[in-house]
Chains A and B, each alone.
Chain A
Amino acid sequence: MLLLQLIISGVALGCIYALIALGFVLIYKATETVNFAQGELMMLGAFCGLILIQVAGLPFPLAIAIAVAGMAGFGALVERAVIRPILGQPQFTVVMLTIGAGYVSRGLMTMVPTLGTETHAFPVPYKGVVWNIGSAVLSAEQVVVIIVTGLLCAGLYLMFKYSKLGIAMQASSQNQLAAYYMGIPVRRLNGVVWGLSAAVATIAGLLLAPITFVHVNMGFIGLKAFPAAVVGGFGSLPGAIVGGLIIGVVESLAGFYLPEGIKDIAAYIVVLIMLMVKPNGLFGENMRKKV
């Protein structure tokens, strides 16, 4: 039953990776750029929720809603201020820019007195609720993570598949110029995508907060989401979820069965193997250019 327990906790952790990876994939799918500050967006979102609950004293659901909406606006603002001026420049530029943005947000958060330098517990109404399945223990935090991730992924998948907005996003990622010609407002679309991605990151942060704690360096978890995105196939929403789950479970199992230290790099070993074997990832699209 130990195995089951390990897998359950791996799945819950993997869902967090998956949610952060979803944020990457959203941006990658729509703008073909990668946001290295996704983990920092998650950290900011978690702090946002914490402040709303503890300092402003709002009830839990309202605080969550405001935090998600506020961070979505913030994401759109970041896109407008920082990313839009370099629209159409090589990927490398965006990578450097978002690394810089990550530095700034982490530094600014640290500079906030008392709030930034300490580790905070995150109050949730479902704290401490546990269920027993056989001898394995399933906590409410983990269940909520798994359910919310599933719902979010389904919603986004439907959006990309069927809604006009989602299809426009895919079009603009494949060829910005052609998308412009077809009357797609590429610039405005990018703002929407960044907002959406920031909202997803915030949800990830709020879900992670009760499991670990809220602190400035929680954004570094974002670095583990890259392997998740690659294993699933960068640019595939279900792929991000599956990749996240694989990384989470592998990490959880490696932590128990393999020598100490392998746990921390298990995700990276998996991603290197994946890149060698199948660079497109499990769900990678195999598109061919027509000449």
Chain B
Amino acid sequence: MRFLFKTDYQQDTRLVKHGGQGFWYGTLLLVMAAAPVILPSYWVSQLSFVLIYAIAGLGLMVLAGFTGLLSIGHAAFLGVGAYTAAFLAGAGMPLPVSLLAAAVLSAAAGVVIGLPALRVKGIYLAIATLAFGFIVEEGMARWESVTGGNNGKAVKAASMLGFPLNTEQSFYYTCLIICVLVTLGVLNLLRSSTGRAFVAIRDSEISAQSMGINLSRYKTVSFAFSAALVGIAGALYAHKLRFISPEQFGILQSIDLLLLVVVGGLGSVHGAFLGAIFLITMPQLIALSKDWLPPAISQAAGMQAVVYGLVLMAFVLFEPQGLYGRWMKMRTYLELFPFYRRGMFKRQKSFQKSERLK
């Protein structure tokens, strides 16, 4: 077990808390960088998807996990980013330009939904984002001159400095670099006063307000930032799939993103990555399990939905802190080995009061 003796305030906000952390994350980064050399290209492709979903997950995590605002329409931002990138790549723009444009446009969309969202909270916000998601999806299907409508749109391979990034490996490295940058960005945001204001808003709006936090401003910033990250993920997603159509950005995708952050662990950066790994490996695990189950069950169409739903319910009921929470508990158990007590992570029961009284 490691004890950290803090002697000054700087240590609280240090990016790398101690050498061990630096070592393990460095190793992870090296492994990730070496992955395409060792793995077959199918796995590299899956890893690219994990990275893309991790970026989107980080985006939703900032909003849902850190600011405490629930959104059931986040796939809309994914769509905005994807179509922006598809359009700009078609016009021959290099990747950095289209990524930036995707981020900016999604952030603008985020502000548009963030502004009405300031007046409402809780379940009303969820419904507002749901409505926004439907409207954007319909817009993508109808604006045929730009989006190609329901027939979908083919996307050119991403290109940088004149080189097309059309192999699995080169695209994987692009995703890796962007993912690392985004992760660092989110970590730094959380260390800054803005990020701490987000967490304060999540924990208690009233106390945040009385500490002088401008609720409407920070909620809008949170929406914009979250949307920008999801937009970047959307741009990469479009380049990865090379074909996009509106139904990829509907309510089911939004729920997938929610599943990602909840299963990964709300309110943790690790959670976004664990959730992304989960989301990508889940269909494969289901496919694997089909050999073991009787064909009457495994061949049925609803199998995947049932598994998704059950996993989501199981996590909410038994492990609300998600995979990351499970990992923390295992770690704490091992570190404290003989002294671990069962009630350590027990949730406090709080009784609900009406949100209608305000």
Contacts and interface: CB of A to CB of B under 8 A. Distances in A.
Interface of A: 28, 32, 34, 82, 85-89, 91-93, 95-97, 99-111, 113, 116-117, 173-177, 180, 216, 223, 226-227, 230, 234-235, 260-261, 264-265, 267-269, 271-272, 275-276, 279, 285, 287-289
Nearest to B70: A92
Nearest to A175: B353
Nearest to A268: B131
Nearest to B115: A276
B348 to A, nearest CB: 9
A241 B123 CA distance: 19
A185 to B, nearest CB: 14
B302 A289 contact: no
B302 A176 contact: no
A91 to B, nearest CB: 6
Q: Which 5 A-B pairs have the closest CB atoms?
A: A103-B309, A110-B302, A107-B305, A107-B302, A100-B312
Contacts of B120: 275, 279
A99 B358 contact: no
Contact of B317 (A86, A173, A226): A86
A88 to B, nearest CB: 5
Interface in B301-358: 301-313, 316-317, 320, 347, 349-358
Contacts of B122: 91
B101 interface: no
A103 B356 contact: no
A73 to B, nearest CB: 20
B129 to A, nearest CB: 10
A34 to B, nearest CB: 5
Interface of B: 64, 70, 72, 116, 119-120, 122-124, 126-128, 130-132, 134-135, 138, 141-142, 251, 255, 258, 262, 296-297, 300-313, 316-317, 320, 347, 349-358
B303 A276 contact: no
B70 A95 contact: yes
A104 B316 CA distance: 14
B305 A110 contact: yes
A8 B56 CA distance: 44
Given A34-B123, A106-B302, A175-B353, A96 B316 contact: yes
19 contacts: A32-B352, A92-B70, A96-B312, A97-B317, A100-B308, A100-B312, A107-B305, A107-B308, A108-B302, A108-B306, A110-B305, A111-B302, A175-B352, A223-B251, A261-B142, A268-B135, A275-B128, A285-B356, A287-B357
Contacts of A101: 309, 313
Nearest to B307: A107
| Chain A residues touching B, majority SS | helix
Contacts of B142: 260-261
A216 B306 CA distance: 13
B352 A100 contact: no
Contacts of A92: 64, 70
Given A104-B305, A234-B123, A275-B124, A97 B316 contact: yes
B135 A175 contact: no
A288 B357 CA distance: 5
A92 B354 CA distance: 14
A54 to B, nearest CB: 21
B305 A96 contact: no
A110 B301 contact: yes
Contacts of B301: 110-111, 117
B349 A272 contact: no
B357 A100 contact: no
B123 A100 contact: no
A111 B64 CA distance: 33
A100 B301 CA distance: 17
A111 B123 contact: no
Contacts of A260: 142
A104 B309 contact: yes
Given A97-B313, A108-B306, A174-B353, 12 more contacts: A89-B320, A89-B347, A96-B312, A97-B317, A100-B311, A107-B302, A107-B307, A107-B308, A108-B302, A223-B134, A230-B124, A275-B116
Given A85-B317, A96-B262, A289-B357, A272 B132 contact: yes
Contacts of A93: 316, 320
Contacts of B303: 107, 111
